[in-house]
Chains A and B, each alone.
Chain A
Amino acid sequence: MKKLMNRLNQGWLAFKEFYRLKVSVIFEKIGHALTHNFVVRKQGLTLVLFSFLKIKITRRRREAFYGYMFTLLWIFGYLIFTLYPMFYSLYLSFNEAYYSLETGVATTFIGFTNYLNIFRSQTLLPLFATYIGKMVISVPLIVVFSIMIAVLINNPIKLKGLWRTIFFLPVVISTGPIITELNNQNATSIPSLQDSSLILFISENLGPWIANPVEAILTSMLLILWYAGIPILIFLAGLQKVDGAIYEAASIDGASPWDRFWKITLPSIQPLISVSVIYIVVTMSLFVESGGILDLARSHMLVGAPDSNFWFGYGFAAAIAWVYFILMVIIMGIFILILRARREK
Chain B
Amino acid sequence: MKIFKDPHLKTKIRKFMFGMNFVDGFIYKFIIMTLLISFSYIYLYPVLFMTVNSLMSVDDLINPGVKWIPTSLEIENYRRAIQVLELPGSVLTTTTYVLKVSISVTLSSAIIGYGFARFRFPLKNVLFVLMLATFILPSQVTMVANMVIFKNLSLMSTQKAMIYPAILGQGVNAAIYILIFYQFFKTIPTVLMESAEVDGASQFKIFTNIAVPLAIPSFLIVFLFSFVWYWNETFITSLYVGSRITLPLKLQAFRASYETLFPPGTFGSELNEAIMLAGNMLTILPLLVLYFVAQRYFVESIDRTGITGE
Contacts and interface: CB of A to CB of B under 8 A. Distances in A.
Given A82-B134, A325-B141, A185 B49 contact: yes
B245 interface: no
Interface in A143-180: 148-149, 152-153, 155-157, 161, 163-178, 180
A173 B288 contact: yes
A152 B36 contact: yes
A286 B236 CA distance: 11
Nearest to A182: B46
Given A74-B178, A314-B144, A225 B35 contact: no
Contact of B302 (A177, A233, A325): A233
B134 A89 contact: no
B88 interface: no
A69 interface: yes
Contact of B252 (A176, A222, A251): A176
B136 A332 contact: yes
Interface string B220-246: 000000001001111100010000000
Nearest to A180: B252
Contacts, number: 280
A237 B288 contact: no
Contact of B168 (A73, A166, A285): A73
B179 to A, nearest CB: 11
Nearest to A317: B144
A50 interface: no
Interface residues of A, number: 98
B308 A321 contact: no
Interface in A204-248: 221-222, 225-226, 230, 233-234, 236-238, 241
A30 interface: no
Interface in B163-212: 164-165, 167-170, 178, 203, 207
B277 interface: yes
Nearest to A170: B43
Interface stretch (A7-15, A38-46, A120-128, A271-279): A271-279
Contacts of B40: 163, 166-167
A297 interface: yes
A282 interface: yes
Interface string B110-136: 011011101111101001001100111
Contacts of A140: none
A190 interface: yes
Contacts of B77: none
A169 B291 contact: yes
Interface of B: 21-24, 28-29, 32-33, 35-36, 39-40, 42-47, 49-50, 53, 108, 111-112, 114-116, 118-122, 124, 127, 130-131, 134-149, 151-152, 164-165, 167-170, 178, 203, 207, 228, 231-235, 239, 248-249, 251-252, 254, 273, 276-277, 280, 283-284, 287-288, 290-292, 295-296, 298-299, 301-303, 307-309
11 contacts: A66-B203, A78-B169, A81-B170, A104-B148, A168-B298, A234-B302, A257-B28, A278-B136, A282-B136, A325-B137, A329-B136
